[in-house]
Amino acid sequence: MARKFFVGGNWKCNGTIDHVKKIVTMLNESEVPSEDIVEVVVSPPFVFLPLVKALLRSDFAIAAQNCWVRRGGAFTGEISAEMLVNLGIPWVILGHSERRSLLGESNDFVADKVGYALSQGLMVIACVGETLEQREAGSTMDVVAAQTKAIAEKITHWTNIVLAYEPVWAIGTGKVATPAQAQEVHVGLRKWLSEYVSSEVASSTRIIYGGSVNAANCKELAAQPDVDGFLVGGASLKPEFVVIIKSATVKSSD
Ligand code: PEP
């Protein structure tokens, strides 16, 4: 089953109203492959979601960068999945390594969030990835499998999930995984899905790579058979994001 190339832009905690308007204008004016070739989702900070929703072209979708683990209520500072749905935001990024490491989000907590977000009708970009220490200790697959297993135990269907493999050592560091390193982990994740979930889920779930993707390295990464797209941080704030979106054509020209 063909997996549509997916490119997500994670704007993280960046931007002002003017800056956001400039990025959206740049995206709106860009020429990119059609929707049947690539799915594009941008993820602004919460406060800019309505603005981006009002201005962004209709063939690009929007993701929030996080949401609360349960129904809203007395949880100061949190944003609930219901609020995102109410706002018409279809996607949410969950389990990003910055939240796992800086805010102490555990595998179980992330998995609970994924389960709850899906139950409310959101689509989820679920992030997994190892630290440099874990890679050097040879435990990359164990780490990403444990993160994926926690999620698998909390959900009943995978249709609305994109799995983002984001090695922590490659995020925001300029140190990108080699195409071979990315492919190896993506294959490992697909094998894990096949063994512990189903072969159908393994072949249909999109596994995207994230970690210092830019205009110069995206084509070679996109050419890997199990790399189904990207989650892009720093470069998603720049015109080179369009070049990354265009790397989807590497797949369609197979
Ligand atoms: C990210 O934040 O998901 C990410 C991959 O960041 P960067 O592209 O800046 O490494």
Task: Name the pLDDT band for 252 (thresholds 50, 70, 90).
Answer: confident
Ligand 1 shell residues, CB under 6 Å: 10, 12, 166, 171-172, 210-213, 231-235
Q: What angle in degrees, to the nearest 10, is found between the helix axes of 107-119 and 140-152?
A: 40
Provide the 3-class DSSP secondary structure of residue 16: coil
* Nearest protein Cα to ligand 1, atom 8: 233
pLDDT (tens digit per residue) in 94-116: 999 999 999 999 999 999 999 99
Supply the residues annotated as catalytic. 96, 166
Distance 212 CA to ligand 1 centre (A): 6
Distance 42 CA to ligand 1 centre (A): 13
pLDDT (tens digit per residue) in 10-31: 999 999 999 999 999 999 999 9
**pLDDT of residue 254 exceeding 80:** no
pLDDT (tens digit per residue) in 206-233: 999 999 999 999 999 999 999 999 999 9
pLDDT (tens digit per residue) in 25-55: 999 999 999 999 999 999 999 999 999 999 9
pTM for this one?
0.97
Residue 218: C-alpha distances to residues 7, 14, 86, 164, 177 (Å)? 11, 23, 35, 15, 11
Q: 88 Cβ partners below 8 Å, 6+ apart?
A: 53
Q: What percent of the chain stands above pLDDT 70?
A: 99
